[in-house]
Amino acid sequence: MPAFSITSSFRILTVFLLLNGCQSSDKHDSFVRTAAASVQQINHPKSHNMRAIKKLHKAVYSPIDDLLTYRAMPTGSIRHLDPFLFLNHHGPQQYGPNNNGLPFGPHPHRGFETLTYILQGDIMHRDSMTGESVINTGGIQWMTAGSGLIHAEVSSETFKKNGGMEEVIQIWLNLPSHLKMTAPNYIGLQKDGIPAIQLDEGRVEVNLISGKWGETEGPVLSLTGIHTTSIEFKKGGELQTKVEAKRNILFYVVNGEVEVNGQTAATHTLVEFANEGEAIAVKALSDAALIFCHGEPYNEPIVAHGPFVMNSEAEIRQAMMDYQSGKLGGLDE
């Protein structure tokens, strides 16, 4: 049975106490008041079926060990964007030679999926069900925890020896109740396995992971029809697209500054859209990069405890018992 450290457990539990606490309570402690101060309320008239923007949320600085980390969700100002539960932005950070690498040793998951963007550096994925792989700059890792596994996300031996820049974004994608116990799966794609769609005379590049963009299909077949991309802009680049009003949008500015539907959003900003209108118009005010995803909400109860996300307290208790009894497999440090 692998060790799940008290420190790691506390970090994950703290995040999901925020998520859970916002499900049924209107209490506002000092943390929530502080975080809410970074939220900008947007009011502007709709035009040309433009998607309305509700709020701009600034990610909060939340380092993990010696790793620079900005958490965009959940925070005191935003709980989740069903089916998107969680977004952490690690780095960019320079590691010197003979470093310890990323701090995410073996830990369990059940009930959701993770999508990890390796923007710089590398990640070595290992888990108790599907094996291991090293993904480098520009690649992604998509892991379906489903019924449960134990995994680790660490740096390769080459990176730990030589050092370099590291920057990673991880998103947690919820699974609906009928897929919570689906079989675990892992997909690792290097940069050359992800379609890069050139738009606006090469000033915009859409890296398509799942879903369709025009006639191009992403290499990952999402179990739930979630559409996922990363988008890179050169200054002045423009993008127009549409998203059905019923679908929730995850729009996060990784770096740079953009104007989206008439509002300006800069590095570490999560843009929360209302479910009104469909058109999205983005113009890059500088070189910039975005995470742009969307999916239909499940509108189901979310009960989260540490690394498990289920629909009921009973299911959480079962997940904990299954982990403790070794049913999720084992993984050495």
- Partners of 300 in beta bridges: none
* 8 A C-beta contact, residue 95 and residue 163: yes
User: Which distant-in-sequence residues (6+ apart) come within 8 Å of 256 by Cβ?
Assistant: 233, 266, 267, 284, 285, 286, 287, 288, 289
Q: Report d(CA 256, CA 265) in Å as an integer.
A: 9
User: Which distant-in-sequence residues (6+ apart) come within 8 Å of 248 by Cβ?
Assistant: 81, 82, 83, 84, 273, 275, 294, 295, 296, 297
The whole-number pLDDT of residue 67 equals 96
Question: Which CATH architecture fits 6-324?
Answer: Sandwich (2.60)
| Of 108, 106, 99, the residue nearest 125 (C-alpha) | 106
Q: Report d(CA 302, CA 108) in Å as an integer.
A: 18
The whole-number pLDDT of residue 333 equals 60
The whole-number pLDDT of residue 14 equals 44
* 8 A C-beta contact, residue 224 and residue 179: yes
For strand 40-41 and strand 164-174, is the pairing parallel, antiparallel, or unpaired?
Answer: unpaired
User: Which distant-in-sequence residues (6+ apart) come within 8 Å of 187 by Cβ?
Assistant: 141, 142, 143, 219, 220
The whole-number pLDDT of residue 8 equals 42
What is the mean pLDDT, run by run of 10 residues, along the chain of 333 residues?
37 46 36 33 55 97 95 96 98 97 95 98 93 94 97 96 98 98 97 98 98 97 98 98 97 98 98 97 98 98 96 98 93 69
How many other CB atoms sit within 10 Å of the CB of residue 159? 22
| 108 preceded by a cis bond (ω within 30 of 0) | no
- Partners of 172 in beta bridges: 86, 114
* 8 A C-beta contact, residue 263 and residue 311: no
Amino acid sitting at position 155: S
Q: Report d(CA 83, CA 112) in Å as an integer.
A: 10
Amino acid sitting at position 327: K
DSSP SS3 for 319: helix
How many other CB atoms sit within 10 Å of the CB of residue 330? 10
The whole-number pLDDT of residue 330 equals 83
